């Protein structure tokens, strides 16, 4: 078993990794920080590498938090039956991870979101680390594996268009084979029958 597998095991099985108290203290310190916190190195190096992180110039890491739970809807005061109002128990079409990526992308308009990964959650928030790339940085343009993001406007606004891993999962594009016929080229092209 390689180093990355051991590191992944410590996150998946808490008994092998940090104690509950240490995790709680970590979340407590993260809550005191701002919503968008730039960090030097990833908290989960195995997860970061898996989704495309490289320790080089032009790559920025941002930890962010998003509130947990379903969709928050306002009450409709229009003389309707309360059971039809539909305020609670409604799930968003987007995952919380996608919302986190979009907010970070809005915060850093000159950078593009490559991917993101989960780092923790408490009773109120979910924490994600988002990998951002500067498409105009010379080190990124010279990199064979990352230079595609600098090629033009077709890769701009990746987070908003569901081009990240979390976005593709939400669009249903990670499914293949039987039952996935109505997903391509898009859900709208198939009258949303794919979901």
DSSP secondary structure code for residue 74 in this structure:
P
For the chain, domain boundaries? 3-152, 164-195
Give the homologous superfamily in CATH for domain 3-152: Ribosomal protein L15 (3.40.1120.10)
The Cα–Cα gap between 152 and 142 comes to: 15
136-139: long-range pairs with CB below 8 Å, 24+: 136/110, 137/57, 137/58, 138/58, 139/56, 139/57, 139/58
In tens, the pLDDT along 17-30 reads 678 888 889 999 99
* Residue 184: band (very low, low, confident or very high) from pLDDT cuts 50, 70, 90: confident
Bond preceding residue 99 cis, omega within 30 of 0: no
SS3 for 135? coil
Reported pTM: 0.87
């Amino acid at each position: 078993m390689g180093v990355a597998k051991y590191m992944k095991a410590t996150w998946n099985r808490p008994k092998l990794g940090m104690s509950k108290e240490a995790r709680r203290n970590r979340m407590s310190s993260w809550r005191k920080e701002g919503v968008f916190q730039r960090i030097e190195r990833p908290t989960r190096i195995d997860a970061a590498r898996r989704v495309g992180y490289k320790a080089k110039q032009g790559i920025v890491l941002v930890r962010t938090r998003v509130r947990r739970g379903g969709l928050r809807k306002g009450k409709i005061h229009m003389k309707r039956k309360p059971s039809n109002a539909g305020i609670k128990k409604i799930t968003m079409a987007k995952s919380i991870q996608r919302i986190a990526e979009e907010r970070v992308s809005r915060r850093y308009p000159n950078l593009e979101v490559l991917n993101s990964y989960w780092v923790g959650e408490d009773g109120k928030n979910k924490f994600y680390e988002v990998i951002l790339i500067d498409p105009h940085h010379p080190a990124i343009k010279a990199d064979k594996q990352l230079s595609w993001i600098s090629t033009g406007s077709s890769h701009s606004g990746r987070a908003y268009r569901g081009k990240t891993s979390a976005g593709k999962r939400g669009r249903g594009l990670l499914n293949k084979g039987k039952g996935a016929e109505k997903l391509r080229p898009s859900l709208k092209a198939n009258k949303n029958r794919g979901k």
